[in-house]
């Protein structure tokens, strides 16, 4: 699976959009981009995934660049409850289910 | 609430002992995954079962073993425990075996403390 690079930490003001970047320059054509988050010692929570098109669900939007070498997770109106570690994971669709977690980005949403 | 349940929530035991962690997947999910999260190693994949069969293995120690039962619940057995086994152990489930895009749903975890 391709390696991902994320900033260690980010701050965001409550009510503003949180834009979390992820670099995955060695991504292959059959690899999906997944985002999970972990709120302090709770089980990780699935947010969204995509292959090459932009995706949106009730939690967030995922913007993948045309060359697929990077992506951005957007939380449109961050709240204090969005404070968490966000993990960007790249996984091939035919490589089994295991998720390889990196260090993630610690997002702090401040009032 | 993800629909995945894990018991017990906390476990404190001594070195050399053996413990069993239990996981019930979401209704309809056939795959179960086990992950370990320690302070120095982060979240690490241990093992996956799909419909009762071992599907994938990660960095799981030989002292650890797992199984998935006909009712699809899974147990992770940890034996000859060492101080370094203290960690959060998460179980996750998904509908398919990991072929094709699919999300995993994680349980609340079991916090194991070895003294």
Of B58, B105, B107, the CB nearest to A98: B58
User: Scanning every residue of chain A, which has its alpha carbon at the shortest distance from the alpha carbon of B91?
Assistant: A43
Q: pLDDT of chain A along its 111 residues, tens only?
A: 668 999 999 999 999 999 999 999 999 888 899 999 999 889 999 999 999 989 999 999 999 999 999 999 999 999 999 999 999 999 876 667 788 899 999 999 999
Q: For B14-23, what is the mean pLDDT?
A: 98
Give the mean model confidence (pLDDT) for residues B18-43: 94
For residue B20, is pLDDT > 70? yes
* Pairwise CA distance, residues B1 & B88, whole Å: 18
CA separation, residue B97 to residues A40, A86, B29, B32, B80 (Å): 28, 24, 9, 9, 30
- Residue range B61-79, pLDDT digits in tens: 999 999 999 999 999 999 9
Going by C-beta distance under 8 Å and a sequence separation of 6 or more, which residues neighbour residue B20?
B75, B76, B77, B78
pLDDT digits (tens, 9 = 90+) for B79-108: 999 999 999 999 999 988 777 777 899 999
- Among the partner-chain residues A95, A97, A102, the one whose CB lies closest to the CB of B94 is A97
| Residues of chain B positioned with their CB less than 8 A from the CB of A99 | 33, 35, 43, 45, 104
Q: What is the pLDDT of residue B66?
A: 97
* pLDDT > 90 fraction of chain B, expressed in percent and rounded: 85
């Amino acid at each position: 699976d391709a390696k991902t690079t994320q900033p260690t930490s980010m701050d965001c003001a409550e009510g503003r959009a949180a834009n979390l970047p992820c670099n995955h320059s060695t991504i292959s054509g059959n690899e999906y981009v997944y985002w999970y988050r972990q709120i302090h010692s709770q089980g990780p929570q699935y947010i969204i995934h995509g292959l090459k098109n932009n995706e949106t669900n009730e939690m967030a939007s995922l913007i993948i660049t045309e060359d697929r070498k990077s992506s951005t997770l957007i939380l449109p109106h961050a709240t204090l409850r969005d404070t968490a570690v966000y993990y960007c994971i790249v996984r091939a669709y035919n490589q089994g289910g295991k998720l390889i977690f990196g260090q993630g980005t610690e997002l702090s949403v401040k009032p | 609430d993800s629909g995945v349940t894990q018991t017990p929530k906390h476990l404190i035991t001594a070195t050399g002992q053996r413990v069993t962690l239990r996981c019930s997947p979401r209704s309809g999910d056939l795959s179960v995954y086990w992950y370990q999260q320690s302070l120095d190693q982060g979240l690490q994949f241990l093992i996956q079962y799909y419909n009762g069969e071992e599907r994938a293995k990660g960095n799981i120690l030989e002292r650890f073993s797992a199984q998935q039962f006909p009712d699809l619940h899974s147990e992770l057995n940890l034996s000859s425990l060492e101080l370094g086994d203290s960690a959060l152990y998460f179980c996750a489930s998904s509908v398919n075996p990991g072929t094709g895009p699919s999300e995993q749903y994680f349980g609340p975890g079991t916090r194991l403390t070895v003294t």
